[in-house]
């Protein structure tokens, strides 16, 4: 977390003191977070999101070392492909179809759920499909 916090500060071009001030923190508290000596509270994640438009999922899990802004999240193409493949296979196996807009929504919701889990959650995807199709 500290490395990510430092990456956000460096990308913003601010000193530790200026960055801490923008976040409403003392320099000492901020330095402890950046060094990883203190666990970052939820309020700090929220403040980074609101003040610097940093994607909170990037703050927690990545990918990459460069800060990702809200709305600029990088897709995990392998995960997305796996979600689509599972959905297509299920629809074929059960001889069901979905209208394009509904199918897109199922893919999106399935992908977002699996991203949060960090892996394909086949059980959840099948349950979604049994309701949607």
DSSP of the chain? -HHHHHHHHHHHT--HHHHHHHHT--HHHHHHHHHTSSPPPHHHHHHHHHHH-B-HHHHHH-SSSS--BTT-PPP-HHHHHHHHHHHHHHHHHTT----HHHHHHHHHHHHHHHHHHTS--HHHHHHHHHHH-
pLDDT at 96: 94
- For residues 6 and 43, membership in a common domain is answered with yes
Instruction: Kindly state whether residues 44 and 89 are assigned to the same domain.
Output: no
Domain presence at residue 69: no
Query: 121: number of CA atoms within 13 Å, CB side?
Result: 16
- Residue from 88, 60, 58 nearest 75 by CA: 58
> Number of folded domains in the chain?
2
Point out which residues pair with 7 in neighbouring strands. Answer: none
Q: Domain check: are 87 and 126 in the same one?
A: yes
pLDDT at 72: 66
Q: Does any domain span residue 57? A: yes
CATH value at residue 14: 1.10.260.40
Does residue 72 lie within any of the structural domains?
no
Co-location of 56 and 91 in the same domain: no
Residue 106: the pLDDT is 93
What's the whole-model pTM score? 0.54
Residue-range definition of the domain harbouring residue 50:
2-61
| Span 103-122, average pLDDT | 89
Structural domain includes residue 13: yes
Candidates 78, 106, 75; CA nearest to 91 is 106
Same domain? For 7 and 57 the reply is: yes
Half-sphere exposure at residue 90, Cβ-oriented, CA atoms within 13 angstroms: 22
**Tens of pLDDT along 50-95?**
999 988 878 877 667 888 888 766 678 788 899 999 999 999 999 9
56 and 81, same domain (yes or no): no
pLDDT above 90 covers a percentage of the chain that reads 55
Whether residue 71 lies inside any domain: the answer is no
């Amino acid at each position: 977390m500290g490395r990510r916090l430092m990456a956000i500060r460096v990308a913003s071009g601010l000193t530790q003191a200026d960055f801490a001030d923008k976040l409403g923190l003392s320099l000492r508290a901020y330095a402890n977070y950046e060094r990883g000596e203190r666990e970052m509270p939820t309020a700090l994640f929220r403040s980074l999101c609101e003040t610097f438009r940093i994607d909170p999922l990037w703050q927690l899990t990545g990918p990459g070392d460069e800060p990702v802004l809200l709305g600029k999240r990088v897709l995990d193409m392998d995960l997305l492909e796996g979600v689509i493949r599972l959905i297509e296979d299920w629809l074929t196996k059960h001889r069901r179809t979905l209208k394009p807009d509904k199918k897109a929504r199922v893919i999106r919701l399935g992908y977002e759920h699996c991203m949060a889990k960090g892996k394909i959650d086949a059980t959840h995807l099948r349950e979604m499909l049994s309701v949607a199709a």
